[in-house]
Amino acid sequence: MAPNRAPNLKKKAASTDRGPSKAGPAPVVSTGYWLFKSEPDAFSWADQKSRGAKGEPWTGVRNYLARNTMQAMKLGDLGFFYHSNIGKEIVGIVRVIATAHPDPSDDSGTWACVDVEAVCDLPKPVSLAQVKDTLALAEMALVKSMRLSVQPVRPEEWALVCQVGGLDAKSLKPLAPLRS
């Protein structure tokens, strides 16, 4: 079935643990950083962005470590969106908008997924090659645990990838924007 994840494009968003309908700013301070892999010809960053604020359930993960990682995610956590196979680069930032709930593409009750929404582009996508060439990023799971499709990211790794990618990690606004 799924390469990294099932495309599962027709699914309605799951109901569990949706963000509050109370409006207002992000409900929870981000406490963790993650990385989500997807093959762009199955589900690309453009696809993710097209989902807008409804986000997308990250279904199709069939790996226990990856599942446990998703179960550790909290509302408001941020993650990198990585294109595997084609592109091989981190292209955007997503936010967890629903914590782990049963994967609707799984009948066995074993697997879980979270929902994520696109937050912003990484102004300068950061390639796998760059990550490998950067000493401070050499321990990233992206390098060390190549086959894990959902991974934790250390805060210092998060900060550095954002910086290299031209993004201010605090404001999630581009660094040194083009002047007009």
HSE toward the beta carbon, residue 168, CA cutoff 13 A: 8
Nearest to 142 by CA among 3, 134, 150: 150
| 8: contact with DNA by CB under 7 A | no
Asked if residues 11 and 59 have their Cβ atoms less than 8 Å apart, the reply is yes
Smallest gap, in angstroms, from Cβ of residue 51 to DNA?
Answer: 21
- The distance from CA 158 to its chain's CA centroid, rounded to whole angstroms, is 12
Binding of residue 95 to DNA (CB under 7 A)? no
Provide the mask over 28-67, with x wherever binding to DNA is found by CB under 7 A and - wherever it is not: ---------x-x----------------------xxxx--
Q: Interface with DNA includes 133 (CB under 7 A)?
A: no
Give the chain's end-to-end CA distance (angstroms, integer). Answer: 48
Query: Residue type at 93?
Result: I
Enumerate residues 6+ apart whose C-beta is below 8 A from 42. Answer: 2, 3, 4, 5, 7
Q: Which is nearer to DNA, 65 or 119 (CB)?
A: 65
With CB under 7 A as the rule, give the number of residues binding DNA.
Answer: 21
- Strand, helix or coil at 12? coil
User: Taking CB under 7 A as the rule, does residue 4 contact DNA?
Assistant: yes
How many other C-beta atoms are found inside a 10 Å radius of the C-beta of residue 68? Answer: 12
- Residue 137 as a binder of DNA (CB under 7 A): the answer is no
- Give yes or no for residue 147 binding DNA (CB under 7 A): yes
Q: Which is nearer to DNA, 2 or 136 (CB)?
A: 2
Choice from 31, 50, 68, 145 touching DNA (CB under 7 A): 145
Nearer Cβ to DNA, position 28 or 143?
143
Instruction: Supply the minimum distance, in Å, between the C-beta of residue 36 and DNA.
Output: 10
Question: Based on CB atoms, which residue is closest to DNA, 61 or 75?
Answer: 61
